[in-house]
Amino acid sequence: MPDRKTKKKAAKKGGLKIKLVRSIIGTTRYQREVVRGLGLRRINHTVEREDTPEIRGMIDKVTHIVQVLEA
């Protein structure tokens, strides 16, 4: 079983930094679920996720409220 340090290094290689820049108030229920699924909880909260087609698809659904940076 890999330790935490190894897991973090692997995520940084091909990862994305996703930041919630606008409120989810006024969005549809589906969009709120997508934001929560990405692991975002509050405005200016940033998470790192692997760059996969599934994550890219989730980001495409909420591009108007998130900001994406290459990690």
Fold of 4-70: Ribosomal Protein L30; Chain: A, (3.30.1390)
Domain boundaries, the chain: 4-70
Mean pLDDT of the chain: 89
Give 10's pLDDT tier (boundaries 50, 70, 90): very low
Q: Counting beta carbons within 10 angstroms of the beta carbon of residue 4, is it exposed (0 to 12), middle (13 to 18) or buried (19 or more)?
A: exposed
Residue 34 has pLDDT above 80, yes or no: yes
pLDDT at 18: 98
As a whole number of angstroms, the distance between CA 32 and CA 60 comes to 13
Mean pLDDT, residues 12-33 taken together:
93
